[in-house]
Amino acid sequence: MLHIVFAVTLTTLAVAAVLAFIRLVCGPTLPDRVIAIDLMGVLIVCLLVVVAASTAQRAFLDVAIVIALISFVGTVAYARYVEREPS
């Protein structure tokens, strides 16, 4: 039963990442794109958590921690860049 759940979960997360990517491509302003990138980082962490649960490998959780850290720092750096950019 649970492998069907994992397949549905991974497919749903992939669809959400595609929606965020559409916003990243056609976002009218720069903060929209930063929000889309931030959401894609969170969705990658979600995917890694589901993969760790399905394969019982705890290395995926270490990767998820590192990606969460880097995604936060990148988001803050992008926000500083948006703030400094003269519009």
Partner 1 sequence: MTEWLSGVLFIAGAALALLAGVGVLRMPDVFTRMQASTKASTLGLGCLLAGLAIRQPEVSFVVRAATIGAFMMLTSAVAAHVIARAAALGGAPLWNGTVIDERPAERADSENPRD
The interface with partner 1 within residues 66-85 (CB under 8 A) comprises 68-69, 72, 75-76, 78-80, 82-83, 85
By CB under 8 A, is residue 52 in contact with partner 1? yes
Question: How many CB atoms are closer than 10 A to CB 47?
Answer: 19
| Residue 75 amino acid letter | T
User: What are the start-end ranges of the E strands in 43-82?
Assistant: none
The interface with partner 1 within residues 2-31 (CB under 8 A) comprises 2, 5-6, 8-9, 12-13, 15-20, 22-23, 29-31
- Asked if 65 contacts 39 with a C-beta cutoff of 8 angstroms, the reply is no
Separation in Å, CA 46 to CA 14, 39, 62, 69: 10, 10, 13, 14
In the complex, which residues of this chain contact partner 1 (CB under 8 A)? 1-2, 5-6, 8-9, 12-13, 15-20, 22-23, 29-32, 34-36, 38-39, 42-43, 45-46, 49-50, 52-53, 56, 58, 61-62, 64-65, 68-69, 72, 75-76, 78-80, 82-83, 85, 87
